Amino acid sequence: MNTSVLLSELKFKSVRSSGAGGQHVNKVSTKVELSFHIQDSKGITEEEKVKIYNKLASRITKSGHLILQCGDTRSQHRNKELVITRFLDILKASLHVKKSRKPSKPTKASVKKRLENKKQHSLKKTNRKKPLF
């Protein structure tokens, strides 16, 4: 994944923020919408594209675009920075490969200790019974 190439392929669009906020919200487009076409990207290899499609299937549109929005702050530039960092985090997370778990055996000492505890517990239970004459 080549981040400098990816950043040059991003498309941004400014939109008016939704919700309450008074006069400022009604006249200023501070919300930033990031659009990225995965299939046309030159910063991602084919194998990475397949991984991204599999992991982010619910976030990708039918046309193959990954769309992210950010309207957290009142500054358009800050929102743009935030949406770029989110985009890179999402891509890194989708390309992350989980380490395979190697099954381990319990040590001999732990097995012995467990069996000893089991024997003591059963002895305790049998000592509580009424004696047979």
The answer to whether residue 19 is domain-embedded is yes
The answer to whether residue 101 is domain-embedded is no
Number of independent structural domains in the chain: 1
Give the C-alpha distances (Å, rounded to integers) separating 98 from 88, 93, 94: 18, 10, 10
The answer to whether residue 70 is domain-embedded is yes
Other Cβ atoms less than 10 A from the Cβ of 71: the count is 21
Encoded tokens for 101: 């778990």
Q: Which residue range forms the structural domain that includes residue 17?
A: 3-95
The answer to whether residue 104 is domain-embedded is no
Other Cβ atoms less than 10 A from the Cβ of 31: the count is 20
pLDDT at residue number 19: 67
The answer to whether residue 112 is domain-embedded is no
Q: What is the pLDDT of residues 5-52, one digit of tens each?
A: 888 999 999 888 776 666 776 778 888 999 999 988 898 999 999 999
Q: What is the pLDDT of residues 36-49, one digit of tens each?
A: 999 888 989 999 99
The answer to whether residue 120 is domain-embedded is no
DSSP string over 69-89: EE-SSS-HHHHHHHHHHHHHH
Residue 51 sits in a domain whose CATH number is 3.30.160.20
The answer to whether residue 126 is domain-embedded is no
The answer to whether residue 128 is domain-embedded is no
**Confidence (pTM):** 0.70
